[in-house]
Amino acid sequence: MHEFVERLLGIMERKVHWAWPSFTSGLVPKDRLHIHLEQEYGVYVRDFPVLVGRAYVQCPIAAVRRELAENIYEEETGGIRAGRPHPELFLEYPRGLGMDLSRFDNPILLPQSRAFRGLLDDATTQCGWAVATAVTTLFLEGTSHDRSVLDPSAPRRPEPPFEEHPLVKHYGLPLESLALSKAHRSVEGEHRAAAWAIARDHIPASEHAPVIDTMEAVLAAWLAYRDGVAEAVGLEQPTIRE
Whole-number pLDDT of residue 187 = 67
Whole-number pLDDT of residue 159 = 86
Look at the pTM and tell me if it is higher than 0.75. yes
Whole-number pLDDT of residue 241 = 54
pLDDT in tens, the chain (242 residues): 589 999 999 999 999 999 999 999 999 999 999 999 999 999 999 999 999 999 999 999 999 999 999 999 999 998 766 678 999 999 999 999 999 999 999 999 999 999 999 999 999 999 999 999 999 999 999 999 999 999 999 998 888 899 999 999 999 999 999 999 988 887 676 889 999 999 999 999 999 999 999 999 999 999 999 999 999 999 998 766 55
**Residue-range domains of the chain with CATH:** 31-143+158-232 (1.20.910.10)
Whole-number pLDDT of residue 82 = 62
Distance in angstroms (rounded) separating the CA atoms of residues 123 and 219: 12
Yes or no: say if 167 and 93 are a contact pair by the CB < 8 Å rule.
Answer: yes
Distance in angstroms (rounded) separating the CA atoms of residues 41 and 220: 20
The 8-class DSSP code of residue 106 comes to S
Exposed/middle/buried for 40, CB within 10 Å: 0-12, 13-18, 19+?
middle
Q: In sequence order, what are the residues at sequence separation of 6 or more whose Cβ sits closer than 8 angstroms to the Cβ of residue 209?
A: none
Whole-number pLDDT of residue 240 = 61
Whole-number pLDDT of residue 79 = 74
